Chain A
Amino acid sequence: MFRFYAVASALTLASAMGLSSEALAQSVDIPFTASVPIEVTFDQVVLGTVETTASGGSVQLPNVIESVNPATVTLQSNTSATLTVSPPSFISGSTPDPDGTTYVTFVTVGTQQVTADTAEVTMNLPVGISDLEVDMRVERPVPFPAGTYNYAVTLTVIP
């Protein structure tokens, strides 16, 4: 008798569950999130050309190295960014730069231009592709001894 009730109760419960399926309908939203990382890249660095000149006065031999054609750098950024431009720095040459040497970097982006001489300077860059033109000028108070000289301008972009 007890087993009969137990079976009957089980059937009743199963029926109840089977007949109340609408009450169990549920919906769920599955979220998708995309995080596009901030990214900036330098590419297509094309070296510039320089010439050597004498600044005049008592100096008759070349004491100036300056751009005649700018170096060009393409920068791609998917966010607005800040570009830091350094003055030219001596990399190699017959002799190190003496005291009194002056350094200037000019960077042009579209209609913007910045000049870095005694310290780094910054400029804002828009989202997208920026074509930078980089010129430099180094002037010594005395002539350059004959040889090959290398100077570097460091560009740093911070998103």
Chain B
Amino acid sequence: MIGRLVLASGFVLAGAVAFSPNVLAQSVDVIFEGNIGEECSFATPVPGVLVYSGGGPGNPPPDVITSDAPGGVSGTVDVSCNIDSAKLQISDARFVSFTPADPQSGPPSSPLPPGSDADLDVLAMVPGAQTYYSGRADGSSSSSGSSMSIFPPPFNTGAPLRQTVEVDLEVNGPGPLEAGIYQYAVTLTIVP
């Protein structure tokens, strides 16, 4: 009688297993791995405006045009990074073009465009840090300051890593600057 009960229990157990498919549900996790490299991105720069601030007729050279004087406007550019230790350096500043105010002013006095051999001083700033660059507009000589942190402490950790870099440029003659429109460019570089 006991043997019969054991046998019956065995069948009941087997039936329960066979008809309980939920216990056979299985799961698997499919893993996806992505690597985000250290990266920064510049937005479209806002050009600066240089104003005449020294020299000129009746004053000793050099003539100076600068963004850091009343009426001048600093150039700015927004930079976004995905790493808060990113740094920035001024890697170049150069003469781009000159357009004379009076196209009928006659042949140029020098084979070089006016302002192309000027001395340039550049300052780039973010709140809490700055760096500089000095050099000739023709690229014949230059020196750069050490790179600056784009997000210097105490930067609000957790805030979006976005910063506005302000750039000022001063152009020194070296002699009198001819009337016209001068264009210069400053190159900012993100460094490791």
Q: How far is B36's CA from A51's CA once the two chains are assembled, in angstroms?
A: 9
| Shortest CB distance A139–B (Å) | 12
Extra inter-chain contacts (17) besides given A38-B18, A152-B32, A153-B32, CB under 8 Å: A37-B17, A42-B26, A45-B30, A47-B31, A52-B36, A60-B80, A61-B41, A71-B30, A79-B21, A144-B82, A149-B35, A151-B34, A153-B30, A154-B28, A154-B30, A155-B30, A157-B25
Residues of A30-62 contacting chain B, CB below 8 A: 35, 37-42, 45, 47-48, 50-52, 60-62
A91 touches B26 (CB 8 A): no
| Shortest CB distance B171–A (Å) | 31
Q: How far is B22's CA from A133's CA once the two chains are assembled, in angstroms?
A: 24
Known: A38-B24, A61-B39, A145-B36. Is A152-B80 also a contact (CB below 8 A)? no
Main SS class of interface, A:
strand
Question: Which residue of chain B has the shortest Cβ distance to A85 in the bound complex?
Answer: B30
A155 touches B43 (CB 8 A): no
Taking CB atoms, residues of chain A closer than 8 Å to B33 are 47, 50, 148-150
25 contacts between A and B (CB under 8 A): A37-B17, A37-B18, A40-B25, A47-B31, A48-B32, A51-B34, A61-B41, A79-B21, A142-B160, A143-B80, A146-B36, A146-B37, A146-B39, A148-B33, A148-B35, A149-B35, A150-B32, A151-B34, A153-B29, A154-B28, A157-B27, A158-B21, A159-B21, A159-B24, A159-B25
> At the interface, yes or no: B165 with Cβ under 8 Å from chain A?
no
Residues of A63-105 contacting chain B, CB below 8 A: 65, 67, 71, 73, 79, 88, 91, 94
List residues of A whose CB falls within 8 A of some B CB. 35, 37-42, 45, 47-48, 50-52, 60-62, 65, 67, 71, 73, 79, 88, 91, 94, 134, 136, 142-159
| Shortest CB distance B86–A (Å) | 10
A152 touches B24 (CB 8 A): no
Count of inter-chain pairs, beta carbons less than 8 A = 118
Taking CB atoms, residues of chain A closer than 8 Å to B17 are 37
Instruction: Please tell me the number of chain B residues within 8 Å of chain A, measured between CB atoms.
Output: 30
A146 touches B82 (CB 8 A): yes
List residues of B whose CB falls within 8 A of some A CB. 14, 17-18, 21-22, 24-41, 43, 80-83, 160-161
Taking CB atoms, residues of chain B closer than 8 Å to A142 are 160
| Shortest CB distance A103–B (Å) | 11
A47 touches B32 (CB 8 A): yes
Q: How far is B25's CA from A156's CA once the two chains are assembled, in angstroms?
A: 7
A152 touches B36 (CB 8 A): no
A146 touches B32 (CB 8 A): no
Taking CB atoms, residues of chain A closer than 8 Å to B38 are 146
Known: A37-B17, A38-B24, A149-B36. Is A60-B30 also a contact (CB below 8 A)? no
| Shortest CB distance B162–A (Å) | 9
B32 touches A62 (CB 8 A): no
B32 touches A148 (CB 8 A): no
Known: A60-B41, A142-B160, A145-B36. Is A41-B26 also a contact (CB below 8 A)? yes
Question: Which residue of chain A has the shortest Cβ distance to B86 in the bound complex?
Answer: A146
